[in-house]
Amino acid sequence: GEDVEQSLFLSVREGDSSVINCTYTDSSSTYLYWYKQEPGAGLQLLTYIFSNMDMKQDQRLTVLLNKKDKHLSLRIADTQTGDSAIYFCAESMDTGGFKTIFGAGTRLFVKA
Amino acid sequence: KAGVTQTPRYLIKTRGQQVTLSCSPISGHRSVSWYQQTPGQGLQFLFEYFSETQRNKGNFPGRFSGRQFSNSRSEMNVSTLELGDSALYLCASSPRGVTTDTQYFGPGTRLTVL
């Protein structure tokens, strides 16, 4: 089946690291993504990882993938108040056409 | 390059009416996907179009339909609106609609059904 799960809320202090976790069920996923949505805005692609990779680092963002456990995480180093947003984990698959399944989103609160 | 544009941005309808939403993809992008975002259900995949053909469809009733034109612009239509159709409808475009593509999202159309 196709399902992506993530915790709904995370609260951190400014300057700390944030870790947002996600689990997915479809082993045929080829790419896994992290999107950010700020209030009143559409989704912005933050980063993605190919399913045969374990880790990807992009400035303050580190993505870890445990394919055996179907677990994906996003670590944001030195979290800032501007990072407050909803973060969506997503998996994509080619099923005779493009399809992306999103998690429910994790709302990140950053306290000054 | 201009981003993905969606019109209208806000819409208020009453139950039983129908509505048409429009999405203009980034120039050169041939794949357009539609999603429904609600607080309770999160982001749910509606359908994906490529070269005027619907290639993939999510689990939505037949009241939800769409089409894509030769210029890749896409419309989605919802007939016989229900209160539960109130949501943010997002469209996303990508060059070829394959997993190696990056999807770019529009700002969404917020539909309120009274």
pLDDT tens across the length of chain B (114 residues): 679 999 999 999 999 999 999 999 999 999 999 999 988 778 899 999 999 999 989 899 999 999 999 999 999 999 999 999 999 999 999 998 887 778 899 999 999 999
A1 neighbors A99 (Cβ within 8 angstroms):
no
Matching residue, tokens 């990508």: B94
Q: How far apart are CA A105 and CA B91, in angstroms?
A: 18
B21 neighbors B89 (Cβ within 8 angstroms):
yes
Overall average pLDDT of the A86-107 stretch: 84
Overall average pLDDT of the A42-64 stretch: 91
Q: Which residues of A touch B35 (CB under 8 A)?
A: 102
Question: Which chain A residues touch B if contact means CB-CB below 8 Å?
Answer: 30-31, 35, 41-45, 48, 88, 90, 92-105
The DSSP element (H or E) to which A111 belongs, if any, is strand A106-111
Query: Which one of A31, A95, A104 has the shortest CB-CB distance to B42?
Result: A104
